[in-house]
Amino acid sequence: MPHVVTEKCLGERYAHCAEVCPVEAFRPGTHNGEPLMVIDPEVCIDCGACLPECPIGAIVGSVDENPEWAKTNAELAPKFKDNPKAEKRPGNDPPRKPGNQLVK
Protein backbone atom coordinates (compact mmCIF):
# COMPACT_ATOMS: atom_id res chain seq x y z
CA MET A 1 0.00 0.00 0.00
CA PRO A 2 1.59 3.35 -1.01
CA HIS A 3 2.57 6.09 1.35
CA VAL A 4 0.71 9.42 1.23
CA VAL A 5 1.82 13.05 1.44
CA THR A 6 -0.70 14.98 3.55
CA GLU A 7 -1.89 18.58 3.72
CA LYS A 8 1.03 19.42 6.02
CA CYS A 9 3.24 19.56 2.92
CA LEU A 10 1.04 22.13 1.17
CA GLY A 11 3.04 25.36 1.14
CA GLU A 12 6.09 23.72 2.72
CA ARG A 13 7.78 21.28 0.29
CA TYR A 14 11.11 20.38 1.90
CA ALA A 15 11.80 17.64 -0.71
CA HIS A 16 14.00 15.52 1.59
CA CYS A 17 11.62 12.64 0.86
CA ALA A 18 12.30 12.74 -2.87
CA GLU A 19 16.04 12.60 -2.31
CA VAL A 20 15.86 9.20 -0.55
CA CYS A 21 13.13 7.56 -2.63
CA PRO A 22 14.69 4.61 -4.49
CA VAL A 23 12.01 4.60 -7.21
CA GLU A 24 11.47 8.36 -7.67
CA ALA A 25 7.81 8.20 -6.64
CA PHE A 26 7.66 11.83 -5.49
CA ARG A 27 6.22 14.44 -7.79
CA PRO A 28 6.57 18.21 -7.15
CA GLY A 29 4.01 20.72 -8.26
CA THR A 30 1.64 23.47 -7.26
CA HIS A 31 -1.78 22.85 -5.74
CA ASN A 32 -4.16 25.66 -4.86
CA GLY A 33 -1.34 28.10 -5.61
CA GLU A 34 1.09 26.54 -3.15
CA PRO A 35 4.09 24.21 -3.56
CA LEU A 36 3.46 20.55 -2.78
CA MET A 37 5.03 17.12 -3.19
CA VAL A 38 2.84 14.08 -3.83
CA ILE A 39 3.58 10.37 -4.02
CA ASP A 40 2.65 8.55 -7.19
CA PRO A 41 0.79 5.47 -5.90
CA GLU A 42 1.58 3.63 -9.14
CA VAL A 43 5.32 3.97 -8.45
CA CYS A 44 5.63 3.81 -4.63
CA ILE A 45 6.99 0.47 -3.42
CA ASP A 46 6.07 1.07 0.23
CA CYS A 47 9.69 0.90 1.40
CA GLY A 48 9.27 3.56 4.09
CA ALA A 49 12.54 5.38 3.36
CA CYS A 50 10.68 8.69 3.09
CA LEU A 51 8.85 8.58 6.43
CA PRO A 52 11.71 9.64 8.72
CA GLU A 53 13.03 12.18 6.20
CA CYS A 54 10.16 14.68 6.25
CA PRO A 55 11.10 17.40 8.76
CA ILE A 56 7.43 18.19 9.45
CA GLY A 57 5.94 14.67 9.42
CA ALA A 58 3.81 15.27 6.33
CA ILE A 59 3.92 11.64 5.14
CA VAL A 60 1.77 8.79 6.42
CA GLY A 61 2.42 5.10 5.91
CA SER A 62 -0.78 4.08 4.13
CA VAL A 63 -3.81 5.34 2.26
CA ASP A 64 -5.96 4.21 5.20
CA GLU A 65 -4.36 6.84 7.44
CA ASN A 66 -5.54 9.71 5.23
CA PRO A 67 -7.91 8.59 2.43
CA GLU A 68 -8.71 12.16 1.38
CA TRP A 69 -5.08 13.01 0.71
CA ALA A 70 -4.44 9.59 -0.81
CA LYS A 71 -7.02 10.57 -3.42
CA THR A 72 -5.32 13.96 -3.87
CA ASN A 73 -1.93 12.27 -4.36
CA ALA A 74 -3.39 9.87 -6.93
CA GLU A 75 -5.13 12.68 -8.83
CA LEU A 76 -2.15 15.08 -8.87
CA ALA A 77 0.71 12.62 -9.49
CA PRO A 78 0.04 12.26 -13.25
CA LYS A 79 -0.28 16.05 -13.60
CA PHE A 80 3.03 16.63 -11.77
CA LYS A 81 4.92 13.77 -13.45
CA ASP A 82 6.91 15.83 -15.95
CA ASN A 83 7.68 18.72 -13.58
CA PRO A 84 11.34 19.36 -12.75
CA LYS A 85 12.64 17.93 -9.48
CA ALA A 86 12.10 20.12 -6.44
CA GLU A 87 15.07 21.78 -4.80
CA LYS A 88 15.80 20.48 -1.32
CA ARG A 89 14.95 23.01 1.37
CA PRO A 90 17.14 23.11 4.50
CA GLY A 91 15.72 20.79 7.15
CA ASN A 92 16.15 23.43 9.84
CA ASP A 93 14.23 26.07 7.84
CA PRO A 94 11.17 26.82 9.99
CA PRO A 95 7.79 25.79 8.58
CA ARG A 96 5.94 28.53 6.75
CA LYS A 97 2.45 27.45 7.78
CA PRO A 98 0.96 28.08 11.22
CA GLY A 99 0.48 24.83 13.08
CA ASN A 100 3.31 23.00 11.31
CA GLN A 101 6.40 22.33 13.34
CA LEU A 102 9.70 20.58 12.85
CA VAL A 103 9.60 17.00 14.13
CA LYS A 104 13.34 16.42 13.95
Per-residue DSSP letters for 15-75? -HHHHH-TT--EEEEEETTEEEEEE-TTT-----TTGGG-TT--EESSGGG-HHHHHHHHH
Per-residue pLDDT of 10-37, as tens digits, reads 999 999 999 999 999 999 999 999 999 9
Phi, psi torsion values for 64, nearest 5 degrees: -65, -25
Per-residue pLDDT of 74-100, as tens digits, reads 999 999 999 999 999 998 999 999 999
Which domains does the chain possess?
Answer: 4-80 (3.30.70.20)
Q: Which 3 state secondary structure label does DSSP give 76?
A: helix
Per-residue pLDDT of 34-81, as tens digits, reads 999 999 999 999 999 999 999 999 999 999 999 999 999 999 999 999
Say what the pTM is: 0.94
d(Cα 90, Cα 25) in Å, to the nearest integer?
Answer: 21
